Amino acid sequence: MDSKVPVSVVIITKNEEENIAECLDTVKWADEIIVVDDESTDRTVEICKGYTNKVFTRKMENEGRHRNWAYEQAANDWVLSVDADERVTEGLAEEIEKLLKVTPEYKAYTIPRQNHIGKYWLRYGGEYPAPQTRLFLKNEFKYEEAEVHPRAFLDGDCGHLKGDLIHYSHRDITDYLRSLNNHTTLEARKWYLTGRKMSLFHAVWRALDRCFYRRLLRKKGYKDGVYGLTVAAFSGIYQIVSYLKYREMIELEKSKSL
């Protein structure tokens, strides 16, 4: 690219020294890079300062609120939201450059992601293209202020880009299990704090639906072999473990009131 593209790339970090340099290398074409770091204890901030002078330290209260604050720091109208474990492909960068040279038709655009476990790219089971809204006008797009899986709010229709984000979501199966443990805790807390009523029957039904019907059958997760079977099984386990942690929170509250 001959000149910088008028877009603000916003990256959320937390102890990402192993990932962040490779991520930043793929967005150097943007005319602004913003990093909002959640009090990292490794070299993340030091590395980021080698790429941009807009590095903020802010403790994450919940994901939705944290991301909304980060986007508000952008100087450009258009924001590209990228995670530290993601890489922007050349094709996607060129597509964004071409799009922003004219007046875009939409206020926001989804981007397909290649999700990986280690070096394996998950192509089935709903893992690809799994488009996410990542390019948007900062004043038109907001996240729900929730700790996990916040919903996105946009007033208007969304366009769709074709270039991929490469997402190295998990280094290996051990990392996948660690992430599952963390996210089930956040999911259970979300249900508990919002007063959501969950039953064992509902949790089991959701587990069977998401594991067997959605991932393995309808979205052909079996084509990813052992990785597809593993991800499908874990998607079911996610529901059961979240429910058990939710029940523990309720029981703990009851014991405190006695």
Confidence at residue 78, expressed as pLDDT on a 0 to 100 scale: 98
Q: What is the pLDDT of residue 253?
A: 87
Mean pLDDT of the chain: 94
pLDDT in tens, 118-165: 999 999 999 999 999 999 999 999 998 877 778 889 988 899 999 999
Please report the pLDDT score of residue 150 as a whole number.
84
Q: What is the pLDDT of residues 27-62, one digit of tens each?
A: 999 999 999 999 999 999 999 999 999 999 999 988
Q: So what's the pLDDT on residue 211?
A: 85
Is a pLDDT exceeding 80 seen at residue 194?
yes
Helix/strand/coil percent split, the chain, to 5:
40, 25, 35
In the chain, what are the domain boundaries? 5-170, 173-257
Read off the pLDDT of residues 222-251 as tens digits, 9 standing for 90 and up: 999 999 999 999 999 999 999 999 999 999
Please report the beta strands in the chain, taking only residues with DSSP state E, as ranges in sequence order: 5-13, 30-37, 55-57, 78-83, 86-88, 108-111, 113-117, 120-122, 132-137, 141-143, 152-154, 159-160, 165-170
**Model confidence, pTM:** 0.89
- Only one residue has tokens 């002078």, namely 53
pLDDT of res. 1: 66
- The answer to whether residue 185 scores a pLDDT higher than 70 is yes
pLDDT of residue 156: 83
Decide if pLDDT at 67 tops 90. Answer: yes
Return the pLDDT at 2. 65
A 10 A CB-CB count for 125 gives: 26
User: Domain 5-170 is of which CATH architecture?
Assistant: Alpha-Beta Complex (3.90)
